[in-house]
A and B are shown apart, each in its own frame.
Chain A
Amino acid sequence: MLALEQYHLDNGLRVVLNEDHSAPLVAINLWYHVGSKNERPGRTGFAHLFEHMLFSGSQHVGNNEHFRYVQSVGGVLNGTTFFDRTNYFETLPSNYLALGLWLESDRMGFFLPALTQEKLDIQRDVVKEERRQRYDNVPYGTAFERLLNLSYSPDYSYHWPTIGSMEDLGAASLDDVRSFFSTWYRPDNCTLTIVGDFSSDEAKTLVDQYFGEIAPGGSFPPFDLERKPFGHEARETFASHVQLPRVYRLYHLPKMGEPDWIHADLLTTILAADKASRLDRALVHEQQIAQDVAMYVLPTESTGILMLQATAREGVQIEAIEAAVDEEIARVAIGGVTEDEMTRARNRAEIEFAHQLETFDARADLIGMMSTYFGDPTKVDRWLDPYRTATAENLAHVARKYLIPENRVTSLFIPET
């Protein structure tokens, strides 16, 4: 059990403390419960662009000074955006806890006075370059975007990826920034987690001093997201600048944390984690028709996602890869998995979880996620329980219920001729 202490400030900020004096470090981590799913068509990519803006200074912190304050004392920092949340974090030498809280509270409470058109224009250009670098200029770069487009109807906001479209990035205005900030960036939409070498009493005093005076926002805008299953497979074949054909699939799942999502997580280990897992063994090691296979579930809050990808070797048709994948999935659906496989999958879950708890920053992030998605930071103590009690039959059930054509979306990337 982690020694967690949690409480709320009057303005609604949830605070979670985890003292650990094993290193003279402190990890400060904020999860804001807002992400690209809160965007609207025409402004895709905005939540992520906004994340960039939050590093460009606030009323008492100059442009680029946020990075400078943290790095110049030996700290490391970053932020990330996903469908359901945006996180900001820094790990500092523990004697600089107050510095980190000062910086984070300044951008939570005093961001707008420092906002300028010039900063927005620069960050818009930077994000466009990020899109070019990671999506448009590399082979298979748009695969996830294409899958999402096929997987959800346009009014379901997982329809587009976090990076957004070039056109929408171009359309973002200062008014959009102000309104997004006022709507979502507020203490009652945030979990502040602190892990490391501090005294709980001192931390509470500092948190109160820096965050206590920030006003909560008004009511949240109504937000309702319900996925309507298509009832059939959505498929496309996309020719582009790639050398080897690759199949990408998205299988719909219940949202993260539901029993079937956990069982699907274990099943991905049995199917595609190392040489002994089934898809690797059959497609890569024995038949030698695939270059690589990968399967994983995504940490998503509104609906569940299982991703599968497999790359054909030179000269192998992508149809052969799809057939071989389907054959292995059918073997699980019909014949189930072995106790040996269950043990390996559970042990891998154990060690991966232990690795996440090992560093202050990853531990803080995990706590922030439990708080944000499940409303309960202490769920971290029980997270592995369903992994430990899962049965072989649970996993076969996932294969039968979810890994079926009607529940999947397929995008085939093939070389342009």
Chain B
Amino acid sequence: MPIDRTTAPSPDPPRPYHFPHVTRTTLPNGLRVLVAENHNAPLVSLRALVRSGADHDTRQTAGLASLTADLLDEGAGDRDAIRLAEDVGILGGALATGADWDASYISLDVLSGNADPATAIFGDVIARPELPADGLERVRAERLNEILQQRNEPSAIAGKRFANLLYGTGAYGNSIIGNAETVSRLTIEDVRRFFEQHYIPNNSAVVVSGDIESAAAVALMDRALRDWPRRDEVPRPNVIAQEIDASRIYVIDRPQAVQSEIRVGHIGVARSSEDYFPLSVMNAIFGGVFNSRINLNLRERHGYTYGARSQFAFRRQAGPFVIAAPVRNEVTRESVSEVLAELRRIRTGDIEDYELDDTKSYLMGVFPATVQTASDIASRLVDMELYGLPEDYFDRYRENIAAVSKEGIAHVAQKYLDPDRVLIVIVGNAQEIREPLGTLGIPIHDLDIDGNKLAVG
């Protein structure tokens, strides 16, 4: 008998998911060690978190945190840069270092049989890097060329200008990788000072995830890092945003552009916000997933874009709320107009039952699919440490999402979204897009790609 295709089949009873058990230890020097065993694959993921990132950069030192992270693999222990890469390669390893706004990171993934020698290398990279002067010159030249390349990348230009207009000279207004001026000026002493102040065990945590016994993992980390000296922590500077008194459009002309890179947004909220869960659901409905309102509107209804998304950058301090969409030149005005209309609509609290139900069940159900690997699990533990999330966070995640109501969403939409005071940045072909944009009734300013104001002409 043919099967009934007219309705979706009903599910079997759900099968339970358990986040791996986590062992937490603190070494005498204050270093936190987290271990999550997972023996599904013969892999081990090592992570280090240093709770200082580009938020410590000033206008004069923009790029310092990320330069320091980049220099960690320019030699460590008694290995120079090449020897370090060879030793990692022999273990079949992949070593990465980097910094974002909130922290600096090191990761080393290896086959589990190599966990022992890998941990020794890992310890040298985080606690005993060489930070050589000639290494800085190599990294500096590479960085200056990267900054140069970004001058032709519309998405990078839009992101940089948006952040700078929103945060001004505060840390979040910089670029994480710095700018040509600061990167040219920074010295090896600056790098070593940043390292000494921030790369300390009491400001850090290490995570081991994968195919290894917990006790063995702790012993390896203890051997590699127990001599890492403790020091006093440096206070975290406050990030200050510019007040937006009225909406403005900033157009950055890119005469060869065949698409407009649009950014619309304003200040968002910190990761520690008590409204984190309703905000997450609200953003998913608005622009966080494929079937969100702005993607269905701009992509599936109008065919203006390949994809439109929104995001709250939940950092330690309030990061931006930003909507991003690349659209073809001739629909730039319409796209901005639709985005603003969607912002107004979500604030009314008029949310369909299916939107709320679908989104909550997505957020609740998708978790196991996002933590399949040792590396995924390690990332989650790093997040927990960085943002001080409670130990039962992942166990209680589902109930926290389930508790979000339409009223809660309307409340956070009204509290945190303000369609009348948005920053709109558009990198595109000014000649084609500027005149139609004028009909939106929002003041337009012209900037060059470095953010200098141009005379309106």
Interface residues in chain A, defined as those with a beta carbon under 8 Å from any beta carbon in chain B: 22-25, 59-60, 63-64, 67-69, 71-76, 91, 93-99, 102, 105-106, 110, 121-130, 132-134, 136-139, 197, 209-210, 213, 241-244, 273-276, 281, 284-285, 288, 291, 311, 313-314, 340, 343-344, 347-348, 350-351, 354-355, 357-361
Contact = CB atoms under 8 A, between A and B. Distances in A.
B58 interface: no
B234 interface: no
A361 B373 CA distance: 11
Contact of B365 (A59, A73, A209, A351): A73
A60 B17 contact: no
Contact of B85 (A22, A64, A213, A275): A275
A351 B43 contact: yes
B150 to A, nearest CB: 8
B120 interface: no
A74 B15 contact: no
B87 to A, nearest CB: 9
Contacts of A126: 299-300, 303, 305-306
Interface in B344-367: 357-359, 361-367
Contacts of A64: 291, 296, 300
B2 interface: yes
B111 A285 contact: no
B301 to A, nearest CB: 8
Contact of A75 (B148, B302, B305, B365): B365
Nearest to A269: B89
A263 B111 CA distance: 22
B419 interface: no
A355 B259 CA distance: 37
A275 B81 contact: yes
25 contacts: A23-B40, A25-B368, A64-B300, A74-B365, A93-B14, A93-B368, A96-B11, A98-B12, A102-B5, A123-B303, A126-B303, A132-B306, A132-B326, A133-B306, A134-B306, A138-B153, A138-B154, A243-B148, A243-B151, A276-B83, A285-B81, A288-B141, A291-B142, A348-B92, A358-B374
Given A137-B326, A274-B85, A358 B40 contact: yes
A381 B209 CA distance: 26
Contact of B149 (A244, A275, A288): A244
A96 B366 CA distance: 12
A94 B306 contact: no
A211 B305 CA distance: 34
Given A24-B368, A139-B152, A351 B306 contact: no
A323 to B, nearest CB: 20
B152 A122 contact: no
Given A23-B372, A358-B43, A72 B153 contact: no
A351 B109 contact: yes
Contacts of B364: 74
Contacts of B81: 275, 285
Given A95-B13, A138-B154, A360-B372, A129 B305 contact: yes
A interface: dominant SS: helix
Nearest to A312: B145
Interface string B78-111: 0001111110111111100000000000000111
A87 B43 CA distance: 27
A95 B111 contact: no
Contacts, number: 221
Contact of B145 (A98, A123, A313, A359): A313
A291 B145 contact: yes
Nearest to A72: B358
Contacts of B142: 284, 291
A95 B11 contact: yes
Nearest to A24: B15
A22 B14 CA distance: 15
Contacts of B152: 139, 241-243
Interface of B: 2-3, 5-17, 40-43, 73, 81-86, 88-94, 109-111, 138, 141-142, 144-146, 148-149, 151-155, 256-259, 289-291, 296, 299-306, 326-328, 357-359, 361-369, 372-374
B85 to A, nearest CB: 4
B85 A276 contact: yes
Contact of A129 (B257, B304, B363): B304
B285 to A, nearest CB: 12
A177 B327 CA distance: 26
Chain A to chain B: the 3 pairs with minimum beta-carbon distance, closest first:
A74-B365, A125-B303, A347-B92
Contacts of A313: 141, 145
Q: Is the interface of B mostly helix, strand, loop or mixed?
A: mixed
Given A213-B2, A243-B149, A99 B357 contact: no
A409 B457 CA distance: 46
Given A74-B363, A129-B306, A129-B327, 9 more contacts: A24-B368, A71-B366, A74-B361, A122-B303, A125-B303, A136-B258, A138-B154, A358-B40, A358-B41
B366 A75 contact: yes
Nearest to A91: B369
A355 B83 CA distance: 25
Given A241-B256, A274-B85, A347-B91, A132 B328 contact: yes
Contact of A137 (B13, B85, B259): B259
A392 B141 CA distance: 34
B40 A348 contact: no
Nearest to B428: A137
Given A276-B82, A343-B90, A350-B92, A24 B14 contact: yes
A403 to B, nearest CB: 22
Contacts of A134: 306
Contacts of B10: 98
B281 to A, nearest CB: 13
Contacts of A281: 82
B41 A357 contact: yes
Given A76-B366, A313-B145, A347-B89, A275 B12 contact: no
B88 A60 contact: no
A34 B343 CA distance: 42
B303 A73 contact: no
Contacts of A69: 8
A68 B303 contact: no
B11 A355 contact: no
A73 B12 CA distance: 12
A93 B89 contact: no
B101 to A, nearest CB: 25
